[in-house]
Structure 1
Amino acid sequence: MTYLGIDVGTSGVKAMLIDREGRPIGEATAKAMEPVRPQPGWSEQRPIDWWTATLEAADRLAKDYPKEMAAVRGIGLSGHMHGATLLDREDKVLRPCILWNDGRSAAECAEMEAEMPRLRDIAGNIAMPGFTAPKLAWVRKHEPEIFERIAKVLLPKAYVRLLLTGEYVEDMSDAAGTLWLDVGKRDWSDELLALTGLTREQMPRLVEGSERSAALKPEFVNRWGMSGEVVVAGGAGDNAAAACGIGAIRPGEGFVSLGTSGVLFVSNDRFRPNTEGAVHAFCHAIPDTWHQMGVILSATDSLNWLSRVTGQTPQELSAAAEARFTGPREEIFLPYLSGERTPHNNAAARGSFIGLSHLSDATLMAQAVMEGVSYAFRDCQRVLKDAGTEIGQLLAVGGGSKSTLWLKMLAANLNCEILLPEDGDYGGALGVARLGLCAAERVSPEEVMTMPGIAKVITPDAALIETYSEHYARYRALYPAIEETRT
């Protein structure tokens, strides 16, 4: 028996096969058309592009692994969150999907919070343009003829599920990113829906990510050489799917993602919002579990920026910084090149270098950039603690985790062990393949979602903890001072 995970991204779709023990067997990817930006701050994509890429990736697996695809018993779906896919009564797409990184609905966010002061208490999150509900408020105001025709609002992976199964279904983790979910109760909120002129009849049915959502249509069972009933699990939003891939499902377990943007993800045993700190509090993809995320918008992208300025590659900059590292110096970097999410919720924030001197060179600036990103993660940890969350240890994922120095900085700033997993793919496709296994075989997620082998453990350096605490205090004082001069 095998299980298939399908991860729907904006740049393409990745499909992965795993066996009954959760080991990867094979994978295939297919590109999607890039999002378009009709106006500054807008970001849209045609849902048909996700579907075409899904079929291409699955067809490739069926060609390259026919025996293994024939043995598929369960499928899990992951997707980029928050996208507003609008359908009419015949399931026709009414307009291009408004994506997670679309910022057009800032005014609607302010209007929603002013009209409903309890919004944050129910949704567990601040109204931000990235969420789905403000996008619908924008459509209602600016495209009323389209709004009137809306029969269903689906997130990206729910649209793919509809075409695979004929059913309107969403899992809790993805639904939590709409701003229509009562995250504590794990149910749609009629109050939040009414705020944008919608009802629960226009929403998909909710299931847990590890539960059965529907069955694959016979036409696709035949197309891919399968047999019998193939169960489609609820699946997960992209970050919850990644957590399932690395086994971060128990309270206190989590990961730090050093990618283009940065995520500090921690599983919780109950709903723990902290909207004042711009923490995301979402349902996890498994029952009776929630998670929190601190999100920073320029993690490795900060080093990429310095690379473009200096003409050195990010790898050269980080290697030089590691070779000369003796501890924090005068230079401090605020990594707000694209604004910031946690803890400031300020899209207009901008990055800064402080403490430059004649001795400052590209290597010391690279060190400061890496430290600044580490301080930003420390900011995330601080507001997670304000919500009552303690972090024991974190797995490190993403391109930046290849830098031992960066992991050392994180361990000292977060004062916790950073675990580097053995080489392997622990992303969303693996995570939802595991959810497909759970749904098809009715086994508990705890049995399936184990952590990978650990290649290296970075323990906090006591001396660095002390010195970084002093420098972090300077870092924290700089943001309000700089913002005050910009207003």
Structure 2
Amino acid sequence: MFLGIDIGTSGVKAIVMDPSGTVLGEGVGALTVQRPRAFWSEQDPDAWWRATHEAVLAIDPALRRGVRGIGLAGQMHGATLLGADDRPLRPAILWNDGRSGPQCAALEALAPDLATITGNRAMPGFTAPKLLWVRDHEPDIFSAVRTVLLPKDYVRLRMTGEKASDLSDSAGTLWLDVARRRWSETILDACGLNEGHMPRLFEGTGASGRLRAEVASAWGLESVVVAAGGGDNAAGAVGVGVVGDGDALLSLGTSGVIFVATDTLRANPSRGVHAFCHALPDLWHQMSVHLSAASCIDWVARITGASDAAELFARAEAAGPCCGPEIFLPYLSGERTPHNDPSVRGAFLGLDHDTDAGRLAQAVLEGVAFALADGLKALTETGTRIEALRVIGGGARSLYWGRIIAATLETPLTYLHGGEVGPALGAARLAQLAVDGGDPAAICTAPPVRHVIEPDAALVRRLSDKKQQFQSAYAPVSQY
């Protein structure tokens, strides 16, 4: 058996997989996000460890006893700042935190070659600008920093005692020379840091350490190898077989991501495309990233009084596509691709006296789909061709939403068995490769197909006008 652990934003998911890729058991530990000020998004790093412990112990002990390796996946970009005693100096600043906009401009001025070296523009979500914010606003904490870790790598430290990371997650810090797959002294120096502040780098299939004896005993395991793993999206790609040039997925989690594997680094920083290392050797990937996707569903369910997301989807389906003039801009936490605008916020447009909860719900489903279409266009501008998208994440549970997205993107969507646990499954597969070796293409295969949604031509036409209205509605906050 192989254990995959995904350190998410709203919770930690752990799964046990057999060598064929079949998920035999899973557990979850809940997490909450703290937003003490506008634009801020933080979590207590020790909460990740408590939730990991809860998720692992929720799995049948008989399955845990058979585990031969562990892999880690996790939310990217979070700045976890440790002092000399390896304890957190402050709450971790998360991927969807928008406070460091001014520091992004400062970093690009300090490091004019940033986009060339990293393949990306500076965005507030990335880790490097967060450290500049801490330097500017919390100088005592900055001077005490001895190590900077990403969220899953703090959990790794608690598991193994090792300070290590993988290349896919580390690419999202903006400190990595992405083409050369190593830390960039130039960008680190611009932030007042050096390689001594960074963890050791591994490919995602590398063995980064072994489970500490006391942790192994608490979890009912042997002291097994812990693989380097991957950032959540790269690990999710491994979990559904997106491991060859042109393979692509759509992740419908808290955020929304279109991910495509590439055999070379293909950057488009001016349009907010993310170009990172993959979790497998000699591969890279592109992403369009939308900070609010399934989180918009939870938000509108709350404000309309729906009991849960399922009730909200039912209301939207009862209303039907294009049921009213309402348009939703899903920028509840700002936006990355293609606008790179942390200050923009969400909005409903076109409300009238007949607007009700069903029409609001439908507008939210459409608005997220329209944002994904903006991201897809930014990817294809680089010459990338995407023939189909494999769907993962909690949003994969709604085939109705899938019909809207497929029509909006004019791209087939493939739903897979186990797709909703993609990152944890990918982490387990990276553990399998770390322990047993083998050909990643042979091991990281797509799970069986559950459902395919082809774009409906009539729905494509119905959504076309609203999609154009959506694309013309964005304006930076400074224009209001």
Length-normalised TM-score, structure 2: 0.90
Alpha-carbon distance in 2 for matches of 1:430, 1:295: 21
Q: Which structure 2 residue ranges, 5 or more long, are not aligned?
A: none
Aligned partner of 2:173 in structure 1 is 178
Contact 1:26 1:65 in 2 (8 A): no
CA offset digits 1:249-270 (Å, max 9, x no partner) = 2222222233343222222222
Contact in 2 for aligned 1:271/1:290 (Cα 8 Å): yes
2:26 maps to 27
Q: Distance in 2 between matches of 1:115 and 1:195?
A: 6
CA contact (8 A) 2:121 2:272 kept: yes
Residue range with higher mean Cα deviation, 203-212 or 48-57? 48-57
Q: Report how far residue 357 of structure 1 moved.
A: 5.6
Match of 2:50 in 1: 52
Percent identity, aligned pairs only, is 50
**Correspondence 1:417 to 2:412:** yes
- Equivalent residue letter for 2:43: Q
Q: Which residue of 1 aligns with 2:2?
A: 3
Classify 1:373/1:91 alpha carbon distance in 2 versus 1 (closer, same or farther; 3 Å): closer
Where does the alignment leave 5 or more consecutive residues of structure 1 unmatched?
none
- For 2:45 and 2:312, the matched residues in 1 are separated by 39
How far 1:287 moved relative to its partner? 0.9
- Of 276, 282, 287, the residue aligned with 1:288 is 282
Matched, 1:198 2:193: yes
**Cα distance in 2 for residues equivalent to 1:80 and 1:356:** 35
Q: Which residue of 2 aligns with 1:65?
A: 61
- How far did residue 356 of structure 1 move? 5.1
Q: Residue 87 of structure 1 contacts residue 152 of structure 1 at CA under 8 Å; is this kept in 2?
A: yes
Larger Rg: 1
Structure 1 distance, partners of 2:103, 2:428, is: 37
Is the CA contact 2:6–2:13 (under 8 Å) kept in the aligned structure 1? Answer: yes
Structure 1 pair 107–72 and aligned structure 2 pair: CA distance change class (3 A): same
Secondary structure of the 1:25 match is: strand
Distance 1:11 1:323, change over 3 A: closer
| Alignment correspondent of 2:75 | 80
Q: Distance in 2 between matches of 1:129 and 1:252?
A: 28
Match of 1:396 in 2: 391
Residue 341 of structure 1 is matched in structure 2 by 336
Trace 1:125-204 onto structure 2 (pairs within 5 A).
125-204=120-199
Aligned length: 479
Task: Work out the CA distance in 1 between the residues paired with 2:437 and 2:142.
Answer: 40
Structure 1 residues 90 and 343: alpha-carbon distance in aligned structure 2, compared to 1, 3 A threshold: same
Matched residue, 1:236: 230
8 Å CA contact 1:328, 1:471 repeated in 2: no
Q: Which residue of structure 2 aligns with residue 456 of structure 1? A: 451
Q: State whether residues 334 and 475 of structure 1, in contact with CA within 8 Å, keep that contact through their aligned partners in structure 2.
A: yes
Deviates more, 1:301-310 or 1:160-169: 301-310
How much has 1:424 moved relative to structure 2?
A: 6.2
Q: Which amino acid aligns with 1:171?
A: D
Distance (whole Å) between structure 1 residues aligned to residue 161 and residue 36 of structure 2: 31
Q: Structure 1 residues 101, 462: closer, same or farther in 2, change over 3 A?
A: closer
Alpha carbon RMSD of aligned pairs, Å? 2.7
- Cα distance in 2, alignment partners of residues 254 and 476 from structure 1: 24
Change (3 A) 1:142 1:298: closer
Partner of 2:243: 249
**For residues 385 and 408 of structure 1, what CA distance do their matches in structure 2 show?**
21
SS in 1 for 2:261: strand
Question: Deviation of residue 198 (structure 1)?
Answer: 0.8
Return the offset for 1:303: 4.4
Question: C-alpha offsets along residues 322-368 of structure 1, whole Å, 9 cap, x if unaligned?
Answer: 45647676544333344322111223323444455666555444433
Q: Residue 470 of structure 2: SS of its match in structure 1?
A: helix
The CA distance in 2 between the partners of 1:243 and 1:308, in whole Å, is 31
Query: In the TM superposition, what whole-angstrom CA distance separates every residue of 1:131-190 from its partner, at most 9, and x where no partner exists?
Result: 111121122223333323322211122222223222221101110111101112111111
Q: CA deviation at 1:390?
A: 1.2
AA of the residue aligned to 2:286: Q
Seen in structure 2, the aligned counterparts of structure 1 residues 205 and 304 have a Cα distance that, compared at 3 Å, is: closer
Shift of residue 234, structure 1, vs aligned partner: 0.8
Is 2:210 the counterpart of 1:211?
A: no
Quick one: distance in 1 between partners of 2:246 and 2:90? 41
How far did 1:467 drift? 4.8
Partner of residue 104, structure 1:
99
